[in-house]
Amino acid sequence: MSDDLGEPVPLRGPPARVVSLVPSLTDAIATTAPGLLVGATDYCSHPPELSVPRVGGSKYPTVDAVLDLRPDLVVANAEENRPEDVARIRADGVPVWVTAAAATVPAGLGSVRRLLTQGLGRTEPDWLVRAEDLWRPVPPIRATAIVPVWRRPWIVLGRDTFAGDVLRRLGIDNAYAGHPDRYPRPPLDELTARLRAGSADLVVLPDEPYEFTATDGPEAFPGSRHALVDGRYLTWCGPSLVPAHSALSAALP
């Protein structure tokens, strides 16, 4: 058995003790297999009722705390977790399943399906099938958006991002989809120039990783349409994709 990166995952059977270092995967695992998780990061906020020991942040987990939980399997992500932490956990004899940084909703859901059914030995959950049905259509483009994910400095969505594909499946094109970087750092005057020129006509402001609010973000783009959205709905590949479709559709002009 191997993970998304082709690395072997030497499981002797379905794991009974799992530590998740990825908030969206924590939600997917806890919703699909309650009681399987024995540890998660400080940022694993869903499901809200989850009560397990915390092992620090996704980028900088306390590896000793992970190992102290005696997991049969640790779940990580190629973009969210550091290779050196994954290597140290594996060096201690604990299998790690690393998911890829999915560029599309179908790819992300396919990755989660492999983890749940092959890695954890669970039956395909109903929420996953429902999410695939909801997000399969790709409607015509009705707006082109700049999508900041950070400020000071400004960082926006670029090419091949899961969030960009979520928006595209709601009829919103990404103004920086053709940029060579996945997360470009354009100066603010470049962003506002695109809006003035009409090559973008919307600014989408999520509340994570940077917490954009009605008073922190829109003022940088005076006179431009903007939409404040739930960052979890935009970036998490898990059960939240089911309510995300209607919630994001309602939030986007």
Does residue 177 lie within any of the structural domains? yes
- Segments forming the whole domain that contains residue 159: 138-251
pLDDT of residue 141: 98
pLDDT of residue 12: 87
Does residue 9 lie within any of the structural domains? no
Portion of the chain with pLDDT greater than 90, in percent: 98
Find the CATH number of the domain harbouring 70. 3.40.50.1980
Q: Is the peptide bond before 47 cis (omega within 30 degrees of 0)?
A: yes
pLDDT at 76 exceeding the cut of 90: yes
Per-residue confidence at 59, pLDDT binned at 50, 70, 90?
Answer: confident
Q: What is the DSSP letter of 116?
A: I
How many structural domains are present in the chain? 2
**Whole-prediction pTM:** 0.94
Q: What is the mean pLDDT of residues 108-117?
A: 98
Does residue 172 lie within any of the structural domains? yes
CA distance 213 to 227: 10
pLDDT of residue 182: 96
Confirm if 194 and 202 have CB atoms less than 8 A apart.
Answer: no
pLDDT of residue 175: 98
Whether residue 102 is found in the same domain as residue 152: no
Does residue 143 lie within any of the structural domains? yes
pLDDT at 58 exceeding the cut of 90: no
Cα dihedral 111, 112, 117, 120 sign: positive
Q: What residues contact residue 12 under an 8 Å CB cut-off, 6+ apart? A: none
pLDDT at 159 exceeding the cut of 90: yes
pLDDT of residue 92: 96
pLDDT at 85 exceeding the cut of 90: yes
The mean predicted confidence, pLDDT, of the chain is 97
Residue with tokens 């939030």: 251
